[in-house]
Amino acid sequence: MIINIMKIIFLGDIVGKTGREAVKKVLPKLKKKFAPDLVVANCENISHGSGASNKTLDEMKDAGINYFTAGNHIFKGVKNESIWERDDLVRPLNYPSDPRVPGVGFLKMKILGEEILLVSLQGLVFMPEYIESPYKIFKEFASHHKDKIIIVDFHAEATSEKVTFGLAFDGKASAILGTHTHIQTADERILPSGTAYITDVGMCGSQNSSIGIDANEVIKHFETGLKFKTEPGDFPAIVNGVLIEIDFSSQKAKKIKRIFEVVR
């Protein structure tokens, strides 16, 4: 039997232990329900709300996640440089091509006999890093990988930038999925030229929190102007993501469905 459709579950930013525990409770049920061929998650806040470690990534691998994407926060709190030697982790491709910048910006995966490309890109609006234009970098990347299934984690702050990027590269990627703001948006759709799009897939973390961080810490920050601890909030938690279906023959998306689960 020839399989023409690939199913992907993409989970939003996993925030700290609460997010990890929520994923461990929910992901087995999601895999049983949807039977995905690939599970990807954003991991930049997986270790206590900031950064990542081999230990926390391996914990999520054991839970059923195959590959990880990340944005600017991945560079915070990394104590073991061997994390950058992993073959299941990508950081934004549009960081400078400089040997001092660790990690890789895209991965080639073999799923159901087909080559799939997983790419992370970071936006510019309201972001503090001095990096290259994601438009320029992805235009070059897509031109070198035509007729390939490309899954993009577009890690950006401004919703307008995310929407514009999606429309600019509609048909050049099979999916463009926004991350970073941790609030799941309700605009999931297949764009006119066949790209699955959502402005933000959301997060996996404490529900009654400030985007995964203990709300009391953030309230104190807004009241005093002092820095806050990145202390993850507690349960109940949410697990946000999307299910995408992609046609191998056309590299176009056929379906995108939001995932929103509450874990108590």
pLDDT of residue 1: 46
pLDDT of residue 235: 97
Catalytic residue among 48, 73, 155, 182: 73
pLDDT of residue 51: 83
Q: What is the DSSP letter of 74?
A: G
In the block, tokens 């206590």 appear at 48
| Tens digit of each residue's pLDDT, the chain (264 residues) | 456 999 999 999 999 999 999 999 999 999 999 999 999 999 999 998 778 999 999 999 999 999 999 998 888 766 677 899 999 999 999 999 899 999 999 999 999 989 999 999 999 999 988 899 999 999 999 999 998 999 999 999 999 999 999 999 999 999 999 999 999 999 999 999 999 999 999 999 999 999 999 999 999 999 999 888 888 999 999 999 999 999 999 999 999 999 999 999
**pLDDT single digits (tens) 103-117:** 999 999 999 989 999
Q: 3-class SS at 122?
A: strand
pLDDT of residue 229: 81
- CA gyration radius for the chain? 17
Residue 48 known to be catalytic: no
pLDDT of residue 77: 65
pLDDT of residue 48: 81
Q: Which helix (H) or strand (E) holds 139?
A: helix 134-144
Residue 121 exposed, middle or buried by CB count within 10 Å (0-12, 13-18, 19+) = buried
Q: 3-class SS at 172?
A: coil
Q: Are 154 and 179 contacting, i.e. CB atoms less than 8 angstroms apart? A: yes
Q: Can you spell out the DSSP letters for 178-197?
A: EESS----S--EE-TTS-EE
Output the pTM of the full model: 0.95
| In this structure, CATH architecture of domain 5-263 | 4-Layer Sandwich (3.60)
Residue 82 exposed, middle or buried by CB count within 10 Å (0-12, 13-18, 19+) = exposed
| Side-by-side strand order, sheet with 196-198 | 106-111, 114-122, 149-155, 175-179, 196-198, 189-190
Q: What is the DSSP letter of 104?
A: -
**Domain extents for the chain?**
5-263
Report residue 155 CA to chain centroid gap.
7
H helix runs in 196-240, sequence order: 215-224
Q: What is the DSSP letter of 73?
A: G
Helix 16-34 to helix 54-63 angle (10° resolution) is 30
Question: Which of 171-203 are b and which e, b meaning 16 or more Cβ less than 10 Å from the residue's Cβ?
Answer: ebbbbbbbbbbbebbeebebbeebbbbbbbbbb
Q: Are 66 and 92 contacting, i.e. CB atoms less than 8 angstroms apart? A: no
